């Protein structure tokens, strides 16, 4: 449909995505990319992002759960797909759709071994996640010997595609020593697998911030597992954001002293003012607590604060300073984040992170892709 029909749009720049991929590839000569496209590709739209990445030579994907993986398969994505949050109950579906389960505890491996496959010769590729200090998902190092013995003694044709771990604090330079501890612990564990298996098992531990701050370590591993850097880039980096979210002003209202705005009448007008109604609310990805000036939209060099509580489908912003000089009109677009207003700066203002802003963007927001 014509983009003019939509008042709130997320614009996704495929040319910039291509540029980001090229920059990353230039820095990982002997490694390859596993692209994280969980959570609807960080809000960008998983299907079209996966298809574009495939054309750009990135064919290994990571998703959060089996439903995300099945959705990709049903839409023609044929490359390998890791299911990061595999559960005991989802193993059968994961194998049925030729997805690759992640073993993060012994019970999942036992479920894989017990699962009936259509052919006894079916090869089941798995990934083993190892806890090196994040203390979230992952097999503890002390339990790895029993995991290895189970695989070796199983009559199932199980092949370990990779072992991997996750850095807890790569983005925080104050924790570099801990990151080094995690990497070194993982490298020791790699030797354990090299000793026990006669085939090459791929390894990966570096994420987006691992790529940024620990580039000297990259070529010690087979893959770079990257997500946020693909979509938003970094501050002061050659990697740039591929995203911009803009909203059209739906209505302008003039208010008088003692008028109130929004639910609970929390904003009371102190002097005559103009507000703009934006078709973007907490059902679209905002938080209700971002009303009353916490969130500001960007327009031609100005930051325009929210007024009153944010509603489910809309919010109001103060445009008084611009309206009186005829700088802003009904139908103009204000920017939530984009080239002129970094998502990293927005996240900092809101005391959150870009991941949360992107992951909560509703699917009802129109995605528009362009080169």
CATH of the domain at 38: 3.20.20.10
What CATH number is given to the structural domain containing 330? Answer: 2.40.37.10
How many folded domains does the chain comprise? 2
Residue 77: pLDDT band (50, 70, 90) is very high
Q: Are residues 325 and 281 in the same domain?
A: yes
Q: Are residues 166 and 192 in the same domain?
A: yes
Q: Are residues 68 and 151 in the same domain?
A: yes
**Confidence at residue 22, expressed as pLDDT on a 0 to 100 scale:** 96
At which of 209, 232, 255 does a domain end?
A: 232
On whether residue 334 sits in a domain, the answer given is yes
On whether residue 9 sits in a domain, the answer given is no
Percent of the chain with pLDDT over 70: 98
Q: Are residues 146 and 215 in the same domain?
A: yes
Asked if 164 is an active-site residue, the reply is no
Q: Are residues 321 and 206 in the same domain?
A: no
Q: Are residues 162 and 39 in the same domain?
A: yes
Q: Are residues 214 and 298 in the same domain?
A: no
On whether residue 279 sits in a domain, the answer given is yes
At which of 207, 232, 257 does a domain end?
A: 232
The arithmetic mean of pLDDT across residues 300-319, rounded, is 98
At which of 213, 232, 251 does a domain end?
A: 232
On whether residue 190 sits in a domain, the answer given is yes
The arithmetic mean of pLDDT across residues 113-121, rounded, is 71
322-369 tens-digit pLDDT: 988 889 999 999 999 999 999 999 999 999 999 999 999 999 999 999
Residue 5: pLDDT band (50, 70, 90) is confident
Strand 267-268 with 251-255, pairing: unpaired
On whether residue 35 sits in a domain, the answer given is yes
Residue 121: pLDDT band (50, 70, 90) is low
Which residue of the set 3, 263, 272, 363 is catalytic? 263
Q: Are residues 100 and 37 in the same domain?
A: yes
Residue 116: pLDDT band (50, 70, 90) is confident
On whether residue 3 sits in a domain, the answer given is no
**151 is in which domain, residue-wise?**
14-232
**Confidence at residue 120, expressed as pLDDT on a 0 to 100 scale:** 55
- For residues 108 and 101, what is the distance between their CA atoms, to the nearest angstrom? 9
**Confidence at residue 173, expressed as pLDDT on a 0 to 100 scale:** 85
Asked if 114 is an active-site residue, the reply is no
Of the listed ranges 117-126, 161-170, 219-228, 318-327, the one predicted with least confidence = 117-126
């Amino acid at each position: 449909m014509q983009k003019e029909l939509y008042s709130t749009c997320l614009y996704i720049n495929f040319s910039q995505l291509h540029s980001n991929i090229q920059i990353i590839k230039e820095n990982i000569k002997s490694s390859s990319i596993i692209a994280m496209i969980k959570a609807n590709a960080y809000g960008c739209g998983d299907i079209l992002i996966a298809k574009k990445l495939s054309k750009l030579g990135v064919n290994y994907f990571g998703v959060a759960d089996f439903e995300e993986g099945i959705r990709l398969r049903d839409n023609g994505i044929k490359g390998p797909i890791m299911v990061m949050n595999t559960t005991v109950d989802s193993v059968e579906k994961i194998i049925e759709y030729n997805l690759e389960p992640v073993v993060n505890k012994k019970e999942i491996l036992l479920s894989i071994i017990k699962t009936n496959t259509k052919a006894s010769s079916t090869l089941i590729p798995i990934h083993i996640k190892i806890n090196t200090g994040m203390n979230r998902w992952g097999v503890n190092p002390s339990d790895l010997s029993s995991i290895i013995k189970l695989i070796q003694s199983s009559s199932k044709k199980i092949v370990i595609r990779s072992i991997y771990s996750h850095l807890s604090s790569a983005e925080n330079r104050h924790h570099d020593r801990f990151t080094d501890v995690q990497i070194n612990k993982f490298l020791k564990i790699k030797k354990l697998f090299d000793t026990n298996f006669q085939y090459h098992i791929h390894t990966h531990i570096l994420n987006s911030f691992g790529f940024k701050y620990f580039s000297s370590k990259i070529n010690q591993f087979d893959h770079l597992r990257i997500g946020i850097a693909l979509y938003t880039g970094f501050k002061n980096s050659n990697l740039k954001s591929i995203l911009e979210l803009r909203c059209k002003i739906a209505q302008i209202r003039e208010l008088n002293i003692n008028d109130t705005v929004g639910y609970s009448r929390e904003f009371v007008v102190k002097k005559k003012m103009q507000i703009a109604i934006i078709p973007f609310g907490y059902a679209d990805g905002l938080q209700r607590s971002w009303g009353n000036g916490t969130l500001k939209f960007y327009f031609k060099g100005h930051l325009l604060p929210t007024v009153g509580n944010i509603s489910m489908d809309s919010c109001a912003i103060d445009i008084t300073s611009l309206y009186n000089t005829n700088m802003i009109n009904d139908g103009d677009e204000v920017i939530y984040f984009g080239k002129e207003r970094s998502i990293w700066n927005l996240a900092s203002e809101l005391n959150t992170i870009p991941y949360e802003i992107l992951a909560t963007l509703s699917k009802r927001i129109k995605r528009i892709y362009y080169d």
